Structure 1
Amino acid sequence: MEAVLASFIAVLGTVLGSGVTYVFQRRTTERGEHFARAEKLRQERIDAYCAYAGALLNYRRVLVQWWFVTHENRPDEDTPELQEHVYELRYAAQEAMFRVQMISDDPALVELSERILEYVTELHRAEDRDRLNDIRERSRQSVRDFIAAATPHVR
């Protein structure tokens, strides 16, 4: 009888040990998967936020160039290619904005991304050089504000 009891205790200990090991391994695996998902999302956010800021700066740069061409009597530089380039960069900025909106879970950041694109787009509507400088500074600061608002989401 002692042999049966000893065998039963050994089997029970083995089963309990296996069960406990399974629980710990499962938790470790879940923790690892959670970390991997969080890190992937973090990297995707970094990529999206950087791409949007870069697209805004490129769009902003070409709008300023277009403003000088159209407002400072340079008709030979106001080509269909320049206008097409402006539109391409606007579409690139919009696409990057949509990516930010899809990946961000912060409504304030989504709203800020839309507002910044509006500020940058206003550049070509400036009536004079003073207004252009005001809009340039506001759009430059709004890009900085976007980076500052996005930074906590990737730390």
Structure 2
Amino acid sequence: MVGTLLGVGVSQLLQQRSVARSERFTRTEQVRQERLQVYSSFAGSLMMYRRAQMERWLICNGGEFEESDAALRARAFDLRMEVYEGLFRVRLVTTGSAAADAAQEAMEVISRIPKAADEDAYVALAREAKQKVTAFVTVAKDHM
């Protein structure tokens, strides 16, 4: 009788530990999947915003597009709001500040593109913006 009770107790303890381990794994995987979705969506939004800002600079400096300057500006502002939303989501799912800081830096560089004084500054800002997005992805990957 004592052996049976002892066996039941040990079995219960092992089952509880197994369930707890399984729940921890499931929660960790859910957090990882959420971060992956948030980070990848934000990086995509940054690149679309970068393109819109580059097009704004080009149209203001003699480039020709089917869209008017006003339409490009409106699209850039819409994308900026999408990027801000993504930035807030990054901050919500990030436990440290490195990913959020890298995200903010990328956004700030991209926002400066239309203000470039000349083509050299434009090319430099576009390149720096791409590097900042890549840096964000690298930091985010390490945070996964």
Query: TM-score normalised by the shorter chain: which range applies?
Result: over 0.9
Task: Give unmatched runs, 5+ long, in structure 2.
Answer: none
Cross-structure match for 1:6 = none
2:77 to 75, 87, 96: 87
Aligned CA-pair RMSD: 1.6
Aligned ranges 1:73-112 → 2 under 5 Å: 74=64, 77-112=67-102
C-alpha separation between the residues in 1 aligned to 2:5 and 2:66?
85
Question: Percent sequence identity over matched residues?
Answer: 30
User: What TM-score results when the alignment is normalised by the length of structure 1?
Assistant: 0.87
Q: Does residue 62 of structure 2 align to residue 72 of structure 1?
A: yes
Cross-structure match for 1:126 = 116
Greater mean deviation of Cα atoms: 80-89 or 111-120? 80-89
Q: Which amino acid aligns with 2:101?
A: E
Report how far residue 81 of structure 1 moved.
2.5
C-alpha separation between the residues in 1 aligned to 2:134 and 2:71?
30
Cross-structure match for 1:3 = none
Per-residue displacement from partner, 1:6-50 (whole Å, max 9, x unpaired)? Answer: xxxx2x222211111111000000000000000010011111110
User: What TM-score results when the alignment is normalised by the length of structure 2?
Assistant: 0.93
Greater mean deviation of Cα atoms: 72-81 or 57-66? 72-81
C-alpha separation between the residues in 2 aligned to 1:86 and 1:21?
61
Cross-structure match for 1:44 = 34
Contact 1:70 1:78 in 2 (8 A): no
Task: Give unmatched runs, 5+ long, in structure 1.
Answer: 1-9
